[in-house]
Amino acid sequence: MRKRRMIEQTLVLVKPDGVARGLIGEVIKRFEQRGLKIVALKLVKIDMDTAKKHYTEDISKRRGEKIRNVLLDFITEGPVVAMIIQGVNAIENVRKLTGDTESSSALPGTIRGDYSHVSFNYADSKNIPIRNIIHSSSNSEDAKTEIALWFSIDEIYDYKRSGDEHIF
Tens digit of each residue's pLDDT (9 = 90 or more) over 78-124: 999 999 999 999 999 999 999 998 989 999 999 999 999 988 899 88
CATH number for the domain harbouring residue 43: 3.30.70.141
Residues 6+ apart with CB under 8 A from 52: 72
Whether 59 and 71 have beta carbons less than 8 Å apart is answered as yes
Residue 50 belongs to a domain: yes
Rounded to an integer, the average pLDDT of 38-51 is 97
Residue 2 has pLDDT above 80, yes or no: no
CA distance 114 to 117: 8
The range of the structural domain enclosing residue 128 comes to 7-151
Residue 117 bears catalytic tag: no
DSSP-based three-state secondary structure for 99: coil
pLDDT at residue 168 in the model? 58
pLDDT at residue 4 in the model? 61
Domain count, the chain: 1
Rounded to an integer, the average pLDDT of 69-74 is 92
Instruction: Give the active site residue among 54, 117, 135, 166.
Output: 135
Residue 83 vs residues 45, 123, 136: alpha-carbon distances, Å: 14, 27, 10
Whether 90 and 9 have beta carbons less than 8 Å apart is answered as yes
Q: Higher model confidence: residue 64 or residue 22?
A: 22
Residue 164 belongs to a domain: no
Distance from CA of residue 50 to its chain's centroid?
Answer: 15
